């Protein structure tokens, strides 16, 4: 009669218990993690599918994060530009509402009768008795001064330490109020009033920013823009949206509309702008006029007002044109934002598909695992009981 030895039975039982223990540990891990295995090799033939799906998922998630960051920065840029435009519109409305029927100067009109022609009564209006600006002009100047500093802050908008309107040179402040613009404007106005430059040349100097064509041009450096912006060699700002494409979302603090508004504000807030007409008095001894404070250039009040309002109207048009041009900057940013938003939605859909692929390959059915674990636990308990009973057998019990 052939039989199995007690040792053989014991070894076989031990092997079965070890297998059950291994299965129990695997099922317990699957129940706790929801995953079939903790290593790629455990997926066997699905390993490559899982690795590729995870790599694509990671790349897609990176692009979504890139787009999210870019969208936040564009939002901050648009907010700054929209506020800049709103303040510029307030100032433009103030300019439009400013009456041009007055010299906007306190005091009385000074009349002049040439003593060398006693037989001819000229009574020419040659200026005003006082140089102080009236309330309307002072209010306009105060508004320009208050807006000016706020505009600079808006153009220096940043996210944490990253300046948003300086192109790729994000660590350099785009615009600094270093006083050079005020000093230069003061000099320009003084030369204009003195007749050193004509009104048309004065306006050309204010509008031009290229010294190659105009040596007296008001350059970006004078305004206070950073060296990279002044040189015009800053790189654009781009966001990587997929493996092959980048989208640009650049807006610079020294673009023409922003620059022109700053120049106009600097002109109107300048302390040397008043008076409109000369402050004069008639010398009682000679009967000749004495200029105490110089106003706009001109031989009489009509010419002074004409030159003053020629500059006034031209800069008003410049501000209104800047308002229109700001819309182009906003449109450019909004267009970039719309494109990246569309791509973000596409990436999110792709991410959901990849998650489905990963889940199909790696995830387990928790209910199924729980059922298997419960059955295996019963089997394992039975194996332990059988093993314990066999280990207690003796010759007497066997007989």
Q: What is the pLDDT of residue 270?
A: 97
pLDDT value, residue 284: 87
Query: Can you list the residues of the chain whose pLDDT is less than 70?
Result: 1-51, 116, 119-121, 356, 358-399
Question: What is residue 92's predicted lDDT score, i.e. its pLDDT?
Answer: 97
pLDDT at 383: 62
The confidence score (pLDDT) of residue 1 equals 44
Query: For the chain, what is the mean pLDDT?
Result: 86
Buried b (16+ CB within 10 A) or exposed e, 67-77: beebbebbebb
Per CATH, domain 85-339 is 1.20.1330 = yes
Percent of the chain with pLDDT over 70: 75
Residues of the chain with pLDDT > 90: what percent? 65
pTM of the model as a whole? 0.81
User: pLDDT value at position 395?
Assistant: 47
CA-nearest of 107, 108, 106, 110 to 137 is 106
């Amino acid at each position: 009669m052939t039989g199995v030895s007690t040792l053989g039975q014991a070894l076989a039982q031990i092997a079965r218990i070890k297998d059950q223990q291994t299965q129990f540990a695997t099922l317990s891990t699957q129940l706790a993690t929801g995953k079939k295995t903790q290593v790629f090799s455990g997926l066997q033939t699905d390993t490559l599918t899982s690795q590729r799906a995870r790599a694509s998922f990671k790349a897609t998630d990176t692009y979504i994060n890139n787009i999210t960051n870019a969208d936040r920065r564009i939002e901050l840029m648009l907010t700054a530009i929209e506020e800049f435009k709103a303040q510029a519109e307030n100032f433009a409305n103030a300019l439009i509402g400013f009456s041009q029927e007055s010299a906007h100067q306190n005091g009385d009109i000074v009349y002049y009768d040439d003593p060398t022609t006693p037989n001819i009564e000229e009574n020419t209006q040659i200026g005003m008795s006082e140089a102080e600006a009236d309330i309307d002009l002072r209010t306009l100047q105060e508004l320009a001064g208050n807006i000016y500093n706020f505009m600079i802050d808006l153009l220096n908008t940043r996210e944490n330490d990253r300046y948003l309107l300086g192109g790729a040179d994000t660590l350099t402040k785009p615009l600094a109020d270093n006083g050079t613009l005020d000093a230069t404007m003061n000099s320009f106005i003084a030369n204009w009033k003195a007749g050193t430059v004509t009104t048309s040349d004065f306006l050309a100097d204010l509008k031009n920013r290229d010294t190659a064509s105009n040596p007296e041009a008001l350059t970006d450096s004078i305004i206070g823009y950073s060296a990279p912006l002044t040189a015009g060699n800053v790189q654009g700002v781009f966001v990587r949206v997929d493996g092959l494409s980048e989208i640009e979302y650049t807006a610079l603090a020294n673009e023409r509309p922003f620059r022109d508004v700053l120049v106009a504000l600097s002109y109107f807030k300048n302390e040397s702008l008043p008076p409109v007409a000369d402050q004069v008095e008639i010398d009682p001894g000679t009967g000749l006029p004495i200029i105490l404070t110089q106003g706009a250039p001109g031989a009489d009040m009509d010419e002074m007002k004409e030159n003053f309002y020629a500059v006034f109207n031209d800069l008003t048009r410049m501000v209104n044109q800047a308002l229109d041009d700001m819309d182009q900057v906003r449109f450019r940013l909004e267009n970039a934002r719309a494109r990246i938003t569309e791509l973000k939605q596409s990436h999110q859909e792709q991410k959901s598909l990849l998650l489905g692929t990963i889940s199909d390959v790696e995830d387990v059915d928790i209910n199924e695992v729980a059922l298997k674990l419960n059955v295996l636990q019963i089997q394992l308990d039975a194996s332990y009981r059988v093993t314990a009973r066999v280990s207690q057998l003796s010759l007497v019990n066997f007989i």
